[in-house]
Amino acid sequence: MMRTGARAAIPQAHRTDHAHDRTDLAGDIMPTAPLPDFTHERVSTVTGERSGLTITVALHSSAIGPALGGCRMWRYPQWIDGVTDALRLSDAMTLKNALADIGAGGGKSVIALGPDDIVDAERRRAALLDLGDLIETFDGRYRTAEDVGTTEHDMLVVRERTEHVVGLPASSGGAGEPAEGTALGVYVSIERVVEELFDSGSLVGRSFVISGLGQVGSRLATRLARAGATLFVTDIAAGKREFADSIGATWIAPEAALTTPADVFVPAGLGGVLTPAAIATLPVRAVVGPANNPLAYRSGADHLAARGILYAPDFVVNAGGVIHLALTGEGAPAAAIEARLRGIGDTLAEVMGAARAKGVTPLAAAEALALERVERARAGALVG
């Protein structure tokens, strides 16, 4: 199934073309999410010739430049839920990449596994090759990288079928693991939020609940612990408890993440956790984290604001990964890359300042700033 155009809903039809931090796919199933508006340049969903799995590439916008966004491999209740996730995530990537100022548009790919799908090494490789074939049909307008459920080594397999892939292992001449860059960007964002709330960016004695200890969450937790923060951490993988002990964090059950009092809630796993019910009782002062789309509904930003909870938009604070990939690919020196990563805090400060000045939520302010940049690029292309 391939759809092109704007503001047309993707029907729940059968597929007709033949040719989606964590890699343990035996865990949770991604919940069903509402179908977003169709504002994408192109979306293609196929059944992989080799793997038989449902694979979607969603190109939201290439107005600023070729789209960049990772490949997610995860379990969904139905195949259409994988398509929905790709639509939502690719939209957010347009905003993220615009604010990151890396000359890239937004896109995402999803390899959707059903609740009972078994993926051994052979089928995993087959799915990644199928993904490479699909990406190749986008003629360079979309580039992929690792994301939830995939790794930098998986990108080597995708590279066998297309050159439009970034984030290869450093040992293979690529940018390597981007998680450290993402963690640094979230860390400086947390400092700005704490300064906004408490008139000091010091994290000593400030309390944080971190939900998710994958590649980014664990690195962020380590940084916060070293800064003197009090940490309550959890993950669906019980084996992460040993890591929590090693950094002096208090382990809590996954179901307690949204009910444990703290200064800041840090969503660092899958998205959609901030439902209306969760927001109604969330016992924190702020939400800042690397998870994509933590709000189950966009209106959640308004609900958080009504409760006096400061929400730092995910696509602002978690842009470190794409900055790392883009600048490393350009051959930028390490010092320049770190400076750009630390600049994420400045971008967030600009967003929070605009939100105060306009009397809107930080989410609305960030969206407006990003879309202004996209429209300016689109208008420039039309004039050119």
In the annotation, is 358 catalytic?
no
Statement: residue 15 has pLDDT above 70: no
Contact 269, 220 (CB under 8 A): no
State the pLDDT confidence band at 8, using cuts at 50, 70 and 90: very low
311-342 per-position pLDDT tens digit: 999 999 999 999 999 999 889 999 999 999 99
Contact 300, 313 (CB under 8 A): no
Between 22 and 133, where is the model more confident? 133
Instruction: Give dist(CA 319, CA 183) in Å, integer.
Output: 9
Q: What is the pLDDT of residue 7?
A: 29
Q: Which residue has 């199934």 as its token pair?
A: 1
Both tokens of 362, joined, read: 């930080």
137-151: average pLDDT: 94
Between 31 and 207, where is the model more confident? 207
Between 286 and 3, where is the model more confident? 286
3-state helix, strand, coil in the chain (%, to 5): 45, 15, 40
Of 16-20, 116-120, 338-342, least confident by mean pLDDT is 16-20
Instruction: Give dist(CA 92, CA 69) in Å, integer.
Output: 10
State the pLDDT confidence band at 21, using cuts at 50, 70 and 90: very low
Q: What is the pLDDT of residue 153?
A: 94
User: CATH 3.40.50.720 spans which residues of the chain?
Assistant: 179-371
Average model confidence (pLDDT) for the chain? 90
Q: What is the pLDDT of residue 200?
A: 94
Of 29-43, 263-277, 324-338, least confident by mean pLDDT is 29-43
**Is the CATH number 3.40.50.720 carried by domain 179-371?**
yes
State the pLDDT confidence band at 157, using cuts at 50, 70 and 90: very high
Statement: residue 36 has pLDDT above 70: no
State the pLDDT confidence band at 253, using cuts at 50, 70 and 90: very high
Statement: residue 72 has pLDDT above 80: yes
Q: What is the pLDDT of residue 384?
A: 57
**Closest Cα to residue 2, out of 27, 19, 20, 25?**
19
Q: What is the pLDDT of residue 29?
A: 58
Contact 287, 312 (CB under 8 A): yes
Statement: residue 229 has pLDDT above 70: yes
Q: What is the pLDDT of residue 174?
A: 80
Q: Which residue has 């703290």 as its token pair?
A: 262
Q: What is the pLDDT of residue 22?
A: 36
Statement: residue 12 has pLDDT above 90: no
Beta bridge partners of 4: 42
**Closest Cα to residue 106, out of 123, 88, 82?**
88
Q: What are phi and psi of 7, to 5 degrees?
A: 50, 45
- The strand pair at 230-234 and 54-61 is best described as unpaired
Contact 277, 301 (CB under 8 A): no
User: CATH 3.40.50.10860 spans which residues of the chain?
Assistant: 2-93+104-172
Instruction: Give dist(CA 311, CA 305) in Å, integer.
Output: 7
Instruction: Give dist(CA 83, CA 57) in Å, integer.
Output: 8
**Closest Cα to residue 68, out of 36, 27, 100?**
100
Of 51-65, 172-186, 258-272, least confident by mean pLDDT is 172-186
Q: What is the pLDDT of residue 30?
A: 56
Contact 238, 221 (CB under 8 A): no
- CATH class for the domain made up of 2-93+104-172: alpha beta
Half-sphere exposure of 265 (CA within 13 A, CB side): 28
